């Protein structure tokens, strides 16, 4: 009886962590809107970098793949939020490309094609060469690496922020909370399986 109660509490806490992660992530995905309003209003990307959105798109695609039932059963919330995030990031990148200078447009298009090529390679390798448990571990580690690169991507423009004495970064506190709460759900589900 007490094991059933503990299991029920665990399920509720796990789902709550997943829902909280989705809410924080949605805030993260909305946070660049003021930057893109400015880009559209001014008709220029000015000195903004598109790289944080490229990293965020790759991160969302990898985490989306990690959340698919074929990779990690039982964490569909990770897949749903990252599918929404990938759409947002793709929209931001398209807007960025539309308002960028010609050399920057070509550079960003190259990065965008590279993101899709890398993601397609990850999907191919994980399906063709790895068994179920190895696939989950492989994609999990890639998720962690992509999260770290996404967290670090705003550092690419820190020099510009210091020069301009502006603190308008493309991602804020929502990034930290959103990304740090996602691992809670799969980790807790894995611990529950072991008990």
**DSSP codes of every residue in 71-113:** TSTT-HHHHHHHHHHHHHHHHHHHHHHHHS-HHHHHHHHHHHH
pTM of the predicted model as reported, rounded to 2 decimal places: 0.77
pLDDT digits (tens, 9 = 90+) for 54-98: 989 999 999 999 999 999 887 888 899 999 999 999 999 999 999
Residue 21 and residue 50 in contact, taking contact as beta carbons nearer than 8 Å: no
| Joined tokens for residue 103 | 């050399």
In what helix (H) or strand (E) does residue 190 lie, and over which residues does it extend?
Answer: helix 184-194
pLDDT digits (tens, 9 = 90+) for 75-86: 888 899 999 999
| Joined tokens for residue 179 | 């990304």
Domain-wise residue ranges, the chain: 1-152
Residue 56 and residue 153 in contact, taking contact as beta carbons nearer than 8 Å: yes
């Amino acid at each position: 009886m007490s094991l059933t109660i503990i299991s029920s509490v665990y399920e509720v806490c796990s789902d709550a962590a997943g829902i909280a992660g989705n809410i924080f992530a949605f805030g993260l995905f909305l946070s660049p809107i003021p930057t893109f309003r400015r880009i559209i209003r001014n008709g220029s990307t000015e000195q903004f970098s598109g790289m944080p959105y490229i990293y965020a798109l790759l991160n969302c695609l990898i985490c989306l793949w990690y959340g698919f039932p074929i990779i990690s059963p039982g964490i569909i919330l990770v897949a749903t939020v990252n599918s929404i995030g990938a759409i947002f990031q793709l929209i931001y990148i398209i807007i960025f490309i539309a308002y960028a200078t010609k050399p920057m447009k070509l550079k960003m298009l190259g990065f965008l094609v590279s993101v899709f090529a890398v993601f397609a390679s990850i999907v191919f390798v994980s399906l063709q060469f790895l068994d179920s448990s190895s696939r989950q571990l492989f994609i999990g580690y890639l998720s962690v690496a992509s999260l770290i690169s996404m967290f670090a991507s705003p550092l690419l423009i820190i020099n510009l922020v210091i020069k301009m004495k502006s603190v308008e970064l493309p991602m804020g506190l929502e990034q930290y909370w959103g990304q740090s709460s996602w691992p809670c759900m799969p980790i807790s589900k894995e611990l529950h399986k072991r008990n």
